[in-house]
Amino acid sequence: MVLFGSSLSPIRSRPKTTIYNCITAVVLRVVLNWKLAGDTTMKMRKGVLLVLFTLCFVLSLFAPSHSGFQSDELLVDDDEVGLPQTQSQQSSSVPKSDQTTVTTPSPTPRRKFSDSDSDSKIQFTLEHAFGDSDFAPAGTFSARLKTSAHGGQTLTKLRFSRNALTDAEKENFKNLVDGDDFYKIRLPSNVLSPPGKDFVVTSVRARCLPRETLDEHFVIHTDGVNILGVNYGAPAPCSYPRPAKLPSKWSFNSYTILKNTEQAPRTPLFIQDVLKNGEEGEGEVVAPPERSFWAKYWMYVIPLGLIVVNAVTQAMNMPEEQASGQPGGAPAAPGAVQRAPSSAARRR
């Protein structure tokens, strides 16, 4: 169940508890809908419900048992594009103790070196603030730091786990929604030595986030180990005036994208090519795309058609005229003949 497919990069979201939660949500909704709906589609709905319940049941068997953990996770995987990650890999990469890691006040990242020296794991903290309040930890990003042969370092395989909102935070968020105030987040500008030069702060009007859950969308612009900026906001449009709305579920639905800089297109260097093309261009005329007969000749066809139609109607009228005009036609003819030369003479 991919909740969101980004057009920016091929990312496969792999929520683990989300699926569980979402499906329950869907089920609830379906139940609601079903109650509202008439009896006519009841049978069909029942069937769907049955399928969903079984699905839910099966998934709940596989789902990890920490039900208190409300966070959603999303994996951004450069290497394994589109490959669904297995549960085991996920649980290994995100330690069970990530809740505690996050809640520890010191934001120092823990660097774990894996087997190869060129590939190290790194974590950094997302902190949030409600309006003008102080920043508090809100989640953890973990990523792989790849060191390339020539010394450049790049972040890959970003994954994110968000802490559940506490009651106080929920209350704060409600206040923000009431006041149409800012929900702020920040990240260190350097993931190796946070906060680096300064924190990268960004904020969004709190009213933009709530949908069914709290939907958020991160685009983290990185340059090596530096974070330059974060595009943060709701994936859905959020146009003014923003209605005050609270989420039905107090959990975050997060989508994250890592973005590196793009290469500028090279300036065309093709003087020779142009010359070559120019020489050849004389010989072979670029054939215009073949158009349909109608597109080519409509201007001839329509007048022709009109003429034909005209001719046909005239032909149709002719016999009628001849039929009706025969009796009176003979006496009229001499007059016409008589008059004709005189008029011609006058004109001349």
Partner 1 sequence: MGTMLRGFLLLLSLLSITAPAFSLYEDQVGLADWHQKYIGKVKDAVFHTQKTGRKRVVVSTEENVIASLDLRHGEIFWRHVLGPNDVIDRIDIAMGKYVITLSSEGSILRAWNLPDGQMVWEAFLQGPHSSKSSLLVPASLKVDKDNVILAFGKGCLHAVSGIHGEILWKKDLEAESFEIQHMIQASGSDLIHLVGFVGSSRFDSYTIDAKRGELLKHDSAAIPGGYSGQASLVSSSTLVVMDSAGSTVTTISFQDGKVTFSQTPVSTLIEDFVGKAKLLALKLEGVFAVKTGTHTTFVRVTVEGKLEVVDKINHATAVSDVLEISENRQAFAFVHSRSNGIDLTVKLGADWNHDLLKESIKMDQERGSVQKVYINNYIRTDRSHGFRALIVMEDHSLLLVQQGAVVWSREDALASVIDVKTSELPVEKKGVSVAKVEESLFEWLQGHVLKLKGTLMLASPDDMAAIQSLRLKASGKSKMTRDHNGFRKLLIVLTKAGKVFALHTGDGRIVWSRLLNSLRQSETCENPTGLNLFPWHVPHHHALDENPSALVVSRCGPSDDALGLLSFVDTYTGKELSSSSLDHSVVQVIPLPFMDSTEQRLHLLIDASGQAHLYPKTSDALSVFRPELSNVYWYSVEAETGIIKGYALKEKASDDYSFDTRSIWSIVFPSESEKIIKTSTRKLNEVVHTQAKVVADQDAMFKYISKNLLFVATVAPKASGDIGSSTPEESWLIVYLIDTITGRILHRMTHHGAQGPVEAVVSENWVIYHYFNLRAHKYEMSVIEIYDQSRADNKDVWKLILGKHNLTSPVSSYSRPEIMTRSQSYFFTHSVKSIAVTSTAKGITSKQLLIGTVGDQVLALDKRFLDPRRSVNPTQAEKEEGIIPLTDSLPIIPQSYITHALKVEGLRGIETVPAKLESTTLIFAYGVDLFFTRFAPSRTYDSLTEDFSYALLLLTIVALVAAIFITWILSEKKELRDKWR
Q: Which CB, 264 or 330, lies closer to partner 1? A: 264
Range in contact with partner 1 (rule: CB under 8 A) among 59-67, 140-148, 158-166, 215-223: 215-223
* Residues of this chain, 243-262, that bind partner 1 according to CB under 8 A: 259, 261-262
Q: Taking Cα atoms as reference points, which of 216, 210, 212, 260 lies closest to residue 128? A: 216
Residue 75, C-beta contacts closer than 8 angstroms, at least 6 positions apart? 11, 12, 13, 14, 85, 90, 157, 158, 159
3 state SS of 140 = strand
Range in contact with partner 1 (rule: CB under 8 A) among 71-79, 80-88, 103-111, 179-187: 179-187
Tell which one of 68, 268, 327, 341 touches partner 1 (CB under 8 A). 268
Tell which one of 65, 88, 97, 240 touches partner 1 (CB under 8 A). 240
Range in contact with partner 1 (rule: CB under 8 A) among 22-30, 230-238, 312-320, 334-342: 230-238
Angle subtended by helix axes 17-36 and 42-62, to nearest 10: 160
- Interface with partner 1: number of residues (CB under 8 A): 58
Q: Which CB, 94 or 176, lies closer to partner 1? A: 176
Tell which one of 23, 48, 201, 244 touches partner 1 (CB under 8 A). 201
Question: What is the DSSP secondary structure assignment for residue 160, as one 8-state letter?
Answer: E
Q: Decide: is 196 part of the binding site for partner 1 (CB under 8 A).
A: yes
Buried b (16+ CB within 10 A) or exposed e, 310-323: eeeeeeeeeeeeee
Residue 210, C-beta contacts closer than 8 angstroms, at least 6 positions apart? 177, 245, 246, 247
The contact mask relative to partner 1 for 1-40 (x = CB under 8 A, - = no) is ------x---------------------------------
State how far the Cα of 185 lies from the Cα of 3, in Å rounded to an integer.
23
Distance, first Cα to last Cα, the chain: 91
Structure tokens at 214: 């709290």
Range in contact with partner 1 (rule: CB under 8 A) among 22-30, 141-149, 231-239, 302-310: 231-239
Q: Decide: is 322 part of the binding site for partner 1 (CB under 8 A).
A: no
Structure tokens at 205: 């009007």
Residue 12 and residue 2 in contact, taking contact as beta carbons nearer than 8 Å:
yes
Q: Which CB, 136 or 219, lies closer to partner 1? A: 219
Q: Residue for token digits 């297109």?
A: 265
Range in contact with partner 1 (rule: CB under 8 A) among 28-36, 113-121, 191-199, 314-322: 191-199
Q: Residue for token digits 């069937």?
A: 47
Q: Decide: is 128 part of the binding site for partner 1 (CB under 8 A).
A: no
Give contact residues for partner 1 (rule: CB under 8 A).
7, 132, 180, 182, 184, 189-190, 196-205, 208, 217, 219, 221, 223-224, 226-229, 231-240, 242, 259, 261-271, 273-274, 277, 285-286, 288-289, 346
